[in-house]
Amino acid sequence: MYQAEKERYKSMEYCRCGNSGLKLPAVSFGLWHNFGDDSDYENMKQLCFTAFDHGITHFDLANNYGPKYGSAEIHFGKILKEELNSYRDELLISTKAGYDMWDGPYGNWGSRKYLIASLDQSLKRLGLDYVDIFYHHRMDPDTPLEETMGALAQTVKSGKALYVGLSNYNGEKLAKASAILEDLKCPFVINQNRYSIFDRTIDQNGLKETAKRLKKGIIAFSPLAQGLLTNRYLNGIPSDSRVKKDGRFLKESALTEERITQIQKLNALAEERGQTLAEMALAWVLQDEAVTSVLIGASKSEQILDNIRATKNTEFCKEELQKIEEIVMDEIKS
């Protein structure tokens, strides 16, 4: 039986999520990749052990993480039951619903029927009575926002979630959703959005500024731009890379000559700071006062340890920040 490292809380910083009482580790662990049926179960366990042993208390899932859909929750649920059960109250476990999950008109988007049914299914797969955070995974253009937010509020009232969050919302929709949830006295505390040196969507769509104004947390996913902001692509596309193995999330067309040049210049700056490119990329996200936590993925325990090192140096001088902007300016403008 797994025994957690006794000193696990000494090496991690914990940040308050907006104006709530909830704290998140600066680095959270996401199970989007490497926890499906095509991954090794023993490696999944070691990834979770390494994360928790180094103070990562937050484990993030969604109903459709896999492949196949639901399999990441099943595997993590097994790890919880077999190894982490005694630590449940030290863990922050989140899941989501909003993308395609099952056939028919009730297995997608943001209806009350879908969200409540999905959470019930997630809890069964995880073997839990409740999750700590339940997210609506994406904006629904057709379902009334009042219905979706009402469903989130119901999950808290029923005791199946402690807090709720929104993922992939823009600033305008966030403000409207937050007002509804406040009227419902629902503890909405966090937004999960893509954010990295290469992806400034939350700046462009008003999400970051609105979250700051409303005093809501932000957890950034894909802070390494699906691996682009690592040393993997400094000299082009390796034959064993994610681009070659699975083009669903990172396409070969993303590795333009201009992009590779940007990666090389950013890597040179990281070396000047005494960091790897990945460490600097994570540190850049964490230096933003609007960000509560960065969400990392990993296929090896060493990658988790490398990412945690980014928390040791998140300070940038004005010249460094300006240099980063100059390197990626053309991409931001586009």
- Cβ contacts of 32 within 8 Å, gap of 6 or more: 60, 62, 65, 72, 221, 297
What pLDDT is stored for residue 18 in this prediction? 96
Domain locations along the chain: 14-234+278-314
d(CA 88, CA 111): 30
The amino acid that residue 67 corresponds to is P
Residue of 89, 87, 90, 107 lying closest to 99 (CA atoms): 107
What pLDDT is stored for residue 253 in this prediction? 72
Homologous superfamily of domain range 14-234+278-314: NADP-dependent oxidoreductase domain (3.20.20.100)
Q: For every one of its 334 residues, what pLDDT tens digit does the chain have, with 9 covering 90 and above?
A: 899 999 999 989 999 999 999 999 999 999 999 999 999 999 999 999 999 999 999 999 999 999 999 999 999 999 999 999 999 999 999 999 999 999 999 999 999 999 999 999 999 999 999 999 999 999 999 999 999 999 999 999 999 999 999 999 999 999 999 999 999 999 999 999 999 999 999 999 999 999 999 999 999 999 999 999 999 889 877 766 656 555 556 677 778 899 999 999 999 999 999 999 999 999 999 999 999 999 999 999 999 999 999 999 999 999 999 999 999 985 555 4
DSSP for 192-212 reads: EEE--SS--HHHHTSHHHHHH
pTM for this one? 0.94
Tokens describing residue 140: 């629904």
- Cβ contacts of 65 within 8 Å, gap of 6 or more: 31, 32, 35, 36, 71, 72, 73
What pLDDT is stored for residue 243 in this prediction? 61
d(CA 119, CA 14): 27
Tally helices (H) and strands (E) across the chain: 12, 10
Distances (CA, A) of 46 to 6, 14, 164: 17, 23, 29
> What is the number of alpha carbons within 13 Å of residue 81 lying toward its C-beta?
13
What pLDDT is stored for residue 224 in this prediction? 97
What pLDDT is stored for residue 99 in this prediction? 98
What pLDDT is stored for residue 334 in this prediction? 47
